[in-house]
């Protein structure tokens, strides 16, 4: 089992950038496909980006393509979400998640097995 802890959230202005980090413990993150999800107030949690264990397959939600970049450093047991050109609609709690199911274009956005506690991102206009 893996434990996930997110960091890097905060309050920024529209157009700013943030980098979220997800630190894994318990088991090496290289055993998992990883994803970032977000949940805005009053809305369902939705997938933002995902990366498979080797880093060779990456997926993004249409709403963040070209602005967000997911990456991973298996040696450091970390996953990152670089966010640029942030918009007020990006405001949400961002969650790091892990799964062993093997993500693909057909399932990368479905709920994962393990979750972090979330980090708040607030983008002011």
pLDDT in tens, 66-124: 999 999 999 999 999 999 999 999 999 999 999 998 999 999 999 899 999 999 999 99
Cβ atoms 66, 103 nearer than 8 A: no
> Which pLDDT belongs to residue 12?
98
The full DSSP string for 30-54 is GGSEEEEEEE-TTS--EEEEEE-TT
> Which pLDDT belongs to residue 29?
83
Tokens of 37: 């999800």
Q: What is the arithmetic mean of pLDDT over 52-63?
A: 96
- Beta strands 18-25 and 68-73, pairing class: unpaired
If you average pLDDT over every residue of the chain, what do you get? Answer: 96
Name residues whose C-beta falls within 8 Å of residue 34's C-beta, 6 or more positions apart in sequence.
22, 50, 51, 70, 72, 79, 96, 97, 98, 99
């Amino acid at each position: 089992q893996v434990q996930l802890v997110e960091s890097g959230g905060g309050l920024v202005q529209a157009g700013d950038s943030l980098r979220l980090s997800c630190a894994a413990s318990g088991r090496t993150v290289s055993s998992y496909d990883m994803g970032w999800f977000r949940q805005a107030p009053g809305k369902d949690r939705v997938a933002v980006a995902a990366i498979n264990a080797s880093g060779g397959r990456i997926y993004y939600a249409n709403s963040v393509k070209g602005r967000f970049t997911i990456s991973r450093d298996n040696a450091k047991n970390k996953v990152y979400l670089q966010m640029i050109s942030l918009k007020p609609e990006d405001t949400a709690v961002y969650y790091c998640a892990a799964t062993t199911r093997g993500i693909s274009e057909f399932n990368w956005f479905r709920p994962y097995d393990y979750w972090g506690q979330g980090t708040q991102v607030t983008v002011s206009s």
